[in-house]
Amino acid sequence: MNEVLTEKKLYFFSGLFLILAAVGIATEFYYVLALPFAMLMLYFLLTQLDKVMWVVLFATPLSITLTHKGFNLGLSLPTEPLLALVTGIVVFQAFFGTGLKKDIIKHPISLAIITYLVWMLVTSITSEMPLISIKYLIARLWFVVPYFLVMVFVLNTDLKKEVFFWVFLVPLCGVAVYTLVIHSQYSFNKETSVWVMYPFFKEHTSWGAVLAMYFPVSAYFAFRKGDWGLKSVAIMLFIIIALAVVLSYTRAAWISLMAAAVVWLIIKLKIKWPYIALGVVGALLVVAASWSNIMSKFEQNTAVSSDDFSEHVSSISNVSSDASNMERINRWKSAIRLFNERPVLGWGPGTYMFVYAPFQKPWEKTIISTNAGNRGNAHSEYIGPLAESGVLGLLTVLLLFGTIFIYGLRVYFNTPTGNNKELMLMAILGLVTYFTHGVLNNFLDMDKASAPFWGFTALLVAQDFANKKNALKENS
């Protein structure tokens, strides 16, 4: 894995390229010119997998999705083909090579991920559309294996753990600058905010979700003590991220950041779990007792999403006339009806968008409703699996998110005070933004959201192993 490209090997690839260039020109079959580059990439994948992952991480925010309607296929280039190759190599090594370290497989977070994927496999076999579900599962695997499993190995030093954040944050800010420049040409209005990040992101909700995940760490880099050279760069990047979050007009991202702020306060104030549980139960009882009044207020709210930020925030609770909110509710109700039809095994992973149309009610449809299955899925990381993989599908998601959060907190509290400890907290807060955002949207089928989600999870597991290793040294 640490082998370098020697001078002899460089001569070999150069000579191979010249020979194939001559053959390609002579036969007018120019595709052979790609063969040396493919071989070189395969060489690095086999010998320098860690370096390939750094390249993939940097390229992820910059990747562009190309779709082919005939094959119902969409790939983010150049990242997804590389992720597929990395996954293939890891799987091959697991079965025919050195195998996987048992301590990683036995980690509670890894076991939760395996449970999640195994149930997805079961419901792919029983799916209404098995081919769609198997493709969906394979795509999920080529995110989990590289971004989580490989990164646990890669993030084996404190320096690499910090570099991990920078490698994604810098190109993300590059995309943010591009988005802000395009958006400025339209006076930063709300109407154009939904597409100005194209072609790097398809629309503003996924853009807002990824920005929210990186907002906590960008704030930490900007406000921590340190060298003013790096700090000035961090402040500039934080300002860019903050502006991009606000001007994304993504209400779910704003809500998720408020949730992360609450978690940060709870951790920093060291509020005990019994008080937190008491507060949650008390809040739920108040909501239950006032539910009819709350719904009446929601139904009376006529504020719609707009350029006016106060009105845009107010529109979050508008369930009577805001098309975006009403369509989300329509999708959720359709998902519940799908679940009621097949509560145990569901309809199959990735099938919601193809099967939900008949389950819509005419009076619940909106001006943006469709029967074509071409405008997204159930818009929830929780309700979607309920419809697609049954009640156990939802439970495996809750198990996964809950395990990541609980063990993430353990890792944070067990990490010695310092920069590394704060980085673990930033990873947890980034994940909290996604757990919250997941109520309203789901983006783990995208490389741009999967990289920080699974990467932050890998970071916590890698630090857990480092903490255990340090504890053994102290006790020996």
- 240-281 pLDDT, tens digit per residue, is 999 999 999 988 899 999 999 999 999 998 888 888 888 778
Could you give the dihedral angle defined by the CA atoms of residues 393, 126, 348 and 76, in that order, rounded to the nearest 10 degrees? 110
Model confidence, pTM:
0.87
Q: Indicate the pLDDT class of residue 8, thresholds 50, 70 and 90.
A: low
- State residue 285's pLDDT score: 80
* pLDDT, tens digit, 9 for 90 and up, residues 126-185: 999 999 999 999 999 999 999 999 999 999 999 999 999 999 999 999 999 999 999 999
CB 172 within 8 A of CB 248: no
| Closest to 371 in 3D by CA, of 387, 356, 352 | 356
Residues making up the chain, counted from first to last:
476
The two three-digit tokens of residue 324, written as one number:
């975006």
| Closest to 298 in 3D by CA, of 325, 327, 320 | 320
CA gap 376, 146 in Å, rounded: 25
Residue bearing the bigger pLDDT, 389 or 12: 389
- State residue 7's pLDDT score: 55
Q: Which range in 96-110, 288-302, 449-463 is most confidently predicted, on average pLDDT?
A: 449-463
How many whole angstroms from its chain centre is CA 304? 28
Rg over alpha carbons for the chain, rounded to the nearest Å, is: 24
To which residue do tokens 């996924």 refer? 206
Q: How far is CA 171 from CA 56, 168, 300, in A?
A: 12, 6, 43
- State residue 379's pLDDT score: 85
Is the pLDDT at 12 greater than 70? The verdict is no
Tell me the CA end-to-end span of the chain in Å, nearest whole number.
30
Is the pLDDT at 384 greater than 50? The verdict is yes
DSSP annotation of 76: E
Q: How far is CA 157 from CA 3, 169, 216, 221, 359, in A?
A: 19, 19, 22, 19, 51
CA gap 357, 334 in Å, rounded: 8
- State residue 364's pLDDT score: 80
CB atoms closer than 10 angstroms to residue 188: 16
The two three-digit tokens of residue 451, written as one number:
């990289």
If you average pLDDT over every residue of the chain, what do you get? Answer: 84
The two three-digit tokens of residue 20, written as one number:
């194939």
- State residue 172's pLDDT score: 97
- State residue 1's pLDDT score: 40
Determine which of 22-31, 181-190, 278-287, 391-400 has the lowest per-residue pLDDT on average: 22-31
Alpha-helix runs per DSSP H in 126-157 = 130-144, 151-154
- State residue 4's pLDDT score: 46
CA gap 189, 208 in Å, rounded: 16
To which residue do tokens 């799916």 refer? 127
- State residue 49's pLDDT score: 84
How many whole angstroms from its chain centre is CA 170? 17
CB 15 within 8 A of CB 40: no
